[in-house]
Amino acid sequence: MTSGITSRADLKRYAWLSIAAAIITIGLKASAYFFTGSVGLFSDALESLVNLVGALMALAMLTVAARPEDEEHTYGHSKAEYFSSGVEGTLILIAAVSIAVAAIQRLLIPRPLEQIGLGLGISVIASLVNLGVALVLRRAGRRFESITLDANSRHLMTDVWTSGGVVVGVGAVALTGWQWLDAGVAIAVAANIVWSGVGIVRRSVLGLMDAALSASEQEQLKKVLDPFRDTGIQFHALRTRQAGARRFVSMHVIVPGEWTVNQGHQLLERIEADIRRSLPGVTVFTHLESLDDPASWDDVTLDREAEAKRMSEGRA
């Protein structure tokens, strides 16, 4: 995986690509709506406007996330990406509500569509633009482990599926003359957008709440530590979290009391190096403790003082 401040700063060019795509598709889809009067195409254009706002937010947060750590943010600025994806997910949900309202109004007051062929042609061109940019962003998001680019890619792919549904709906109106299909497809599109938006918001909330590493990554961590356990070394207070592309692992390493400081330090260096080789973009914190000191077992929980108080009350 590519890492480092320079490569993270380069992600801004992908945000600019998304901004350009949003501006182009807004123009195309607004034209398609103007020619046809389709509420489905209107909903499509509205989502592209949301794409633009999301892309601008992505640019701002990627700029912040690329900054190195400083005195006020000693763990870096990676979490800024979660704000971007959270805002984008929220905007998707707002767009879905707007689309549903417009579709219901059209169901109540039907309106015949005009110049359907021209409108559909323009919509297909806009969809191809979004599809190409979404695929580029998806590859970049995976390569750089950027939740911002991943959310942006998912949003654009939602737009592609939205446009596909709208094209089908408008085409069905042209073939059958059933005007309600236009609004019906728009409502289905809104429901699909809600599903995508909820998923993006959920992932952002989990990141801001310091969710642990994935099960597969924790299993990889276990494989690193097991050989040390076989030699009598013990571990506890093992905690993990992820902030953007940066992973954090902390643990207490318990060794025989007769070990020298140098022996303990060399062991911790080996453990940390093995973890860094196994998990990309990880920062490891280790704390050395003695197997012979009872106090080593008193700080397993996150809040040591609260745990000590609870234990003392239990004994009383």
Same domain, 86 and 151: yes
Q: Are residues 9 and 144 in the same domain?
A: yes
pLDDT score, position 4 = 44
Q: Angle at CA 286, nearest 5°, toward 282 and 291?
A: 145
d(CA 74, CA 172) in angstroms, rounded, equals: 57
Beta strands in the chain (DSSP E): 234-243, 246-255, 282-290
Residue 309 has pLDDT above 70, yes or no: no
Three-state DSSP class for residue 234: strand
Rounded Cα distance, 119 and 148, in Å: 32
Q: Distance between CA 15 and CA 58 in Å, rounded? A: 6
Helices 80-108, 180-208: axis angle to 10 degrees equals 160
Q: 295 lies in which domain range?
A: 215-315
41 and 162 in one domain? yes
- Burial code (b: 16+ CB inside 10 Å, e: under 16) for 182-217 equals bbbbbbbbbeebbebbeebbebbeebeeeeebeeeb
The residues, ordered by sequence, that sit 6+ positions from 238 with a Cβ below 8 Å of its Cβ are 221, 249, 250, 251, 252
Assign 193 a pLDDT band (cuts: 50, 70, 90): confident
Q: What is the pLDDT of residues 54-108, one digit of tens each?
A: 788 888 888 887 788 888 887 777 778 787 778 877 877 877 787 777 777 767 7
**Which of 9-18, 145-154, 268-277 shows the highest mean pLDDT?**
268-277
Under DSSP, is residue 282 helix (H, G, I), strand (E, B) or coil? strand
On the question of pLDDT at 313 being above 70, the answer is no
Same domain, 69 and 111: yes
Per residue in 223-250, pLDDT tens?
999 999 988 899 998 999 887 778 899 9
Query: In terms of domains, do 201 and 224 share one?
Result: no
In this structure, are 195 and 113 located in the same domain?
yes
Read off the CATH number of the domain in which 238 is found: 3.30.70.1350
- Residue 3 pLDDT grade (very low, low, confident, very high; cuts 50, 70, 90): very low
